Amino acid sequence: MHLNLLRILAIILTVLTFVTTVFAEIASPIGYWKTIDDVTGRPKSIIQVWKTPDQVLMAKVIKVFPKQGQKKICTACKGNKHNRPIVGMVIMSGLQSHDNQWKNGEILDPENGKIYNCSARLTENGKKLKVHGYIGFPLFGRSQTWERVDLMSG
């Protein structure tokens, strides 16, 4: 009887570990996200978000859906990003985890070359990422909602 109880406990622990791991992956901003144009409602880009070894979030553009006449290089960017391709460009960096949010980062808008302070948080059970860019105080800024995409499903 004691052996059966140990087996049951082992099974329960295994299931709990699996469920916790799955939930942690779902509740993580790591992955691929589609950005949407605020005006047209059309997709603008696909962004890859990853975590560095020191637990900081970074993001880069892996695909763009350019509007007609839109340049594929960042002509408005300053420094080493000036006239570089937007695809492959790191646009978000330095985000650190704070109470179910990511804060204290920076985000680049390739359309105007400006860099903003940035925070992000998951919504809708990890299906959306609300990214907020601002100068100075978070109250004075703009938010975008990115949609999670699964690049493996086609």
CB atoms near residue 35 (< 10 Å): 20
| Tens place of pLDDT per residue across the chain (154 aa) | 655 555 654 455 454 444 343 444 448 999 999 999 888 889 999 999 999 999 999 999 999 998 877 789 999 999 999 999 999 999 999 999 988 899 999 999 999 999 999 999 999 999 999 999 999 888 889 999 999 998 766 5
Q: What is 29-153's CATH topology? A: Lipocalin (2.40.128)
CA distance 43 to 80: 27
Token representation of residue 119:
């925070």
CA distance 35 to 122: 14
Longest alpha-carbon distance in the chain? 74
Global pTM exceeds 0.85 = no
